[in-house]
Structures are given as C-alpha cells and as structure tokens.
Structure 1
Amino acid sequence: MTLTFTQRLSAVDRGSVHHVLSLNAEERSRSRHPVQTDAGEAVYLHLPRGTTLREGDWLQAESGELAQVRASPEPVLTVTAERTIDLLQAAYHLGNRHVSLEITETYLRLSPDPVLQDLLNHRGLTVVEEIAPFQPETGAYGHHAH
C-alpha cells in the first residue's frame, strides 16, 4: 500500500521527520499526484484541492508519518537590477503576462522563456540562467497560510 500524505501541518518537532520530499515548483502546486521521497520511496499526495506547498512545509500521512517539503533546484531565470524601480517595473510587466514569479527585495525569478528573457534584457535588467529553487507567488487568492 502506498504511503499517502493527506494534510499539511503548521508546526512539527524537527526531530520527527520520516521523509523528505524535494519537489519543483510545478509539483508543489499540484495537490493530488504521485511523487518520490528523496530516498526513492513512492508516495502519494492527496491534499485539499488548491493546496500549494512551500519550502519547509510539513505533511502528515494517514499513518502518522511525517515528511518535510524542500524546493528542489530547477532551471530558472534570475533577474536583478541596479535600481529597485526597474525591478518593480519588470514585475509589473511580467504580472501582466500572468507569469509565475518569485519576488524578493533583490531579485525576481521565473521559469526560462526566451521571449521574456529578451524583453527583460531590452529593459536593461541583468538576467542569469541558473539552477536554483523556485518559489513563485501563489497569487492573491492562494491557499497557503503559515
């Protein structure tokens, strides 16, 4: 029988982790699908619809076993600018295109897209292709709470 994780917990004793789930951004945005633990064990996520997992979240299986979620590194574009206003304007333009976007005080991060990379380069921003954890915003009506 496959181990099934059915709920996200608000806080857990860190010594209690049984499994680690390293998931990319797309996998963390799907609430019901099979995944593998970092140890290679097949498990299933059966979380409330609309659940978006974040780095460090804790999940509990029906059996009581616990797993911690990690944001696995994936291909991304990391965008920086010399002026904050340039970064804010880039976030505005990307938002108008409904791009999944990680927003921090010092950089923006998005999935690779050559058209968007060209747009950002033409705006004078620094765009670096890299492999890094990607934690996009869940949106105004996201179902995540800490």
Structure 2
Amino acid sequence: MKITAVLGCEAHFQGYTFDELMLTSDELAKRVFRKKTVSGREIKASLPRNTLLKPGDVLLAEARCAVVVRVIPEWVLVIRPTSFAQIAEVGHQLGNRHMPIQIEENEIVVAYHPLLETLFQGMDIACERVLRTLERPFLHIFAPHMH
C-alpha cells in the first residue's frame, strides 16, 4: 500500500485495531521507504519533504484497522553533567566528533559508542548505557567546514 501522508495520531482512531510498523529512530526521518508491518502488510511510503514521523502516527486506516508507527528501542549513552564546566566539556567533545545529540531535562543523549562511554567515565562525567525508545531521530546537519 502506498502512503503519501500521516493521517493523524492513534488517539483519533478509537475502535480500530492497530497493525504496528516498527521503525528505528533514524527511520523516523526517512520520507521514502519500503517496510513491512508486524502482520506482514507491505508499506511503500513517499511522504512530503521535512516529514518527521512520531511514535503513534497513523499512516493507513482501512476496514477498522490502522497502521501505526512504533519505535524499536536502541542503545544510547545518557550523559548527566553536574556542572557548567562538565556541560562545556561534553559539548566540546561531542561537537568535535560531530555527534548529533538530544537534550532531555538534565540529560544529554547520544547514540551509544563504547569509546564515548570510556572517555566520559575517564573525565568523571556521569554516563550510562541505556536501552531507550526515542521519540525523535538524531538529526545530522551536514555543512561544509574546515578545522
């Protein structure tokens, strides 16, 4: 089935059964993809530019069954700096590596990499590897630059 728009969120589809489309957080930013739902229904998406899918988005609704977006949990590194100096150091280290981040209350979240974990542990900056379902993708911004 070809999908060209998000129909709404699952709360608007009361009384429907849901067929889950399992995506990685990176796939939330893809506008063109082909994927199968949990029940095996093939979805071909060609969404408008700048569409970012969210968990709970409904992409198809027919015969009281709706295809709903779900996100697969993934390993991330959760960093919890406790001072301005630590915040600045984390920003410096992640920025030099061009790592996309997400900020959640008192946490900085990045895709898990064991070398980052070792780096921050060696700097006595609290961090831990966590299995988390992300609500949005890590967005990469590509711009030419020089060091």
How much has 1:138 moved relative to structure 2? 4.2
User: Which residue does 2:4 correspond to in 1?
Assistant: 6
1:4-36 deviations in Å (ceiling 9; x for gaps): 221124556132454222211122121111122
Q: Give structure 1 regions of 4+ aligned residues with deviation exceeding 6 angstroms.
A: 61-65
Q: Distance in 2 between matches of 1:42 and 1:119?
A: 43
User: Which residue does 1:131 correspond to in 2?
Assistant: 131
Larger Rg: 2
How much has 1:99 moved relative to structure 2? 1.5
How much has 1:55 moved relative to structure 2? 2.2
Q: Which moved more, 1:10-19 or 1:126-135?
A: 10-19
Q: TM-score scaled to structure 2, two decimals? A: 0.70
Q: TM-score scaled to structure 1, two decimals? A: 0.70
What percent of counterpart residues are identical? 25
- Let me know the Cα RMSD of the aligned residues: 3.2
**Contiguous gaps of at least 5 residues in structure 2:** 142-147
1:41-65 deviations in Å (ceiling 9; x for gaps): 3222221233222223332479997
Q: Distance in 1 between matches of 2:129 and 2:49?
A: 32
User: Which residue does 1:52 correspond to in 2?
Assistant: 52
| SS of aligned partner of 1:52 | coil
How much has 1:73 moved relative to structure 2? 0.4
Name the CA shift for 1:117/1:46 in 2 (closer, same or farther; >3 Å).
same
How much has 1:70 moved relative to structure 2? 1.9
Query: Aligned residues, how many?
Result: 137
